[in-house]
Amino acid sequence: MKPRKENIDLKHSSKAVFCISVGTAVGLVVYGIFLFFKIAIFGWNLGLIFAPLSAGYVETVISRRILGKSSGAISAFILFIYTTFYSFILKNPTLGINLITAGSILVILQSAFPTLVNYLIMVILGAIASNIKWTIGNARKRINTAVKDNVKWETADEEVAPPYFDEAESNRKLNSQGFYFITSTDMHDRPYKNIGICQSQVIIENEDDISVKREIVEEKRLVGIKKGKDECLLKLINIIKENGGNGILDLEIEYGLIGMKGDNIHIIATGMAINIK
């Protein structure tokens, strides 16, 4: 039984040596190709990484088919030692440990111990992700606490009322100007004198107070737009009256945001000034 076991071990060893040899040969060929074609980034030949990687990969594939298990990617170690000696000692002895050699070491370890390395990577990345998540969550809690402590939201009994605007009074004032607002371009057969295009504009503040409830902010904004529109129309009336007109054709009112963050609302009233006879 003993000689038989020795024969089996010897046969197993010879197969392992064959797998290692094939992997080493492939790695040397890959390294030679990278050197011949000068495949490099910032002067660093990529064969330093891909040669050990290809050697370990080929050895692992062959050994699993022949031996039924990995032989340890020993060829990757051989290629790493060879490429390091060739590139950093023989060709350029002034170079030392750097990002390329560190990357090669990681590639070799990944080839030789894939399960262990992947587990360690997952554990490390998981720990980093958990730490980041905890940091962000903690920061959010602190921000929310600070906002609640420093911003006092109005209750139903303490709500800040929007500025008072008497829309009926504003309409009465507009209608008492003895002025004609006509959105159409057609006066039918009624005679009139064309004075020219006139325009007025008003800029109002676009209120956005975070210390006030959203409904109140929107109501304030709506009131501001209504007041701004009526103010813009009154300005347009005065301009046209100064030029001898008493009406406007094709009246158009435009609204837009201006400023870096839309801090203001721009209201423009435009039309053809006329004098209706």
Predicted local confidence at residue 171, as pLDDT = 82
- Residues 100, 196, single domain; the answer is no
179-188, 194-203, 263-272: least confidently modelled range: 179-188
Name the more confident of 214 and 148: 214
Predicted local confidence at residue 144, as pLDDT = 65
Instruction: Please report whether residue 184 resides in a domain.
Output: yes
Per-residue pLDDT tens over the stretch 17-64: 888 899 889 989 998 898 888 887 766 677 877 888 888 888 888 888
Domain tally, the chain: 2
Check: CB of residue 50 under 8 Å from CB of residue 30. Answer: yes
Residue type, 181: F
Check: CB of residue 49 under 8 Å from CB of residue 104. Answer: yes
Predicted local confidence at residue 130, as pLDDT = 65
- Residues 83, 178, single domain; the answer is no
Instruction: Please report whether residue 211 resides in a domain.
Output: yes
Contacts with 77 (C-beta within 8 Å, 6 or more apart), sequence order? 52, 108, 112
Predicted local confidence at residue 225, as pLDDT = 86
Instruction: Please report whether residue 130 resides in a domain.
Output: no
Instruction: Please report whether residue 37 resides in a domain.
Output: yes
Structure pTM? 0.41
Q: How far is CA 101 from CA 46, 47, 193, 259, in A?
A: 11, 11, 88, 54
Name the more confident of 9 and 6: 9
- Of 67, 90, 112, which residue constitutes the final position of a domain? 112
SS3 at position 184: coil
Q: Token digits for 241?
A: 């009256």
Per-residue pLDDT tens over the stretch 244-268: 988 888 888 998 888 777 788 899 9
Instruction: Please report whether residue 146 resides in a domain.
Output: no
Q: What's the mean pLDDT in 10-22? A: 82
Query: Strand pairing of 180-181 and 40-41?
Result: unpaired
Q: Could you tell me the residue range of the domain that residue 66 belongs to?
A: 2-112
Instruction: Please report whether residue 118 resides in a domain.
Output: no
Element (DSSP H or E) covering residue 41: strand 40-41
Q: How far apart are CA 36 and CA 86, in angstroms?
A: 14
- Of 81, 112, 143, which residue constitutes the final position of a domain? 112
Predicted local confidence at residue 224, as pLDDT = 85
Name the more confident of 139 and 29: 29
- Residues 72, 172, single domain; the answer is no
200: left (phi over 0), alpha (psi -120 to 50) or beta: beta
- Of 87, 112, 137, which residue constitutes the final position of a domain? 112
Instruction: Please report whether residue 44 resides in a domain.
Output: yes
- For all residues of the chain together, what is the average pLDDT? 75
Give the CATH number of the domain where residue 229 resides. Answer: 3.30.110.70
Predicted local confidence at residue 1, as pLDDT = 43
Q: Which residue's structure tokens are 């009131």?
A: 223
Instruction: Please report whether residue 145 resides in a domain.
Output: no
Predicted local confidence at residue 29, as pLDDT = 93
Predicted local confidence at residue 120, as pLDDT = 53
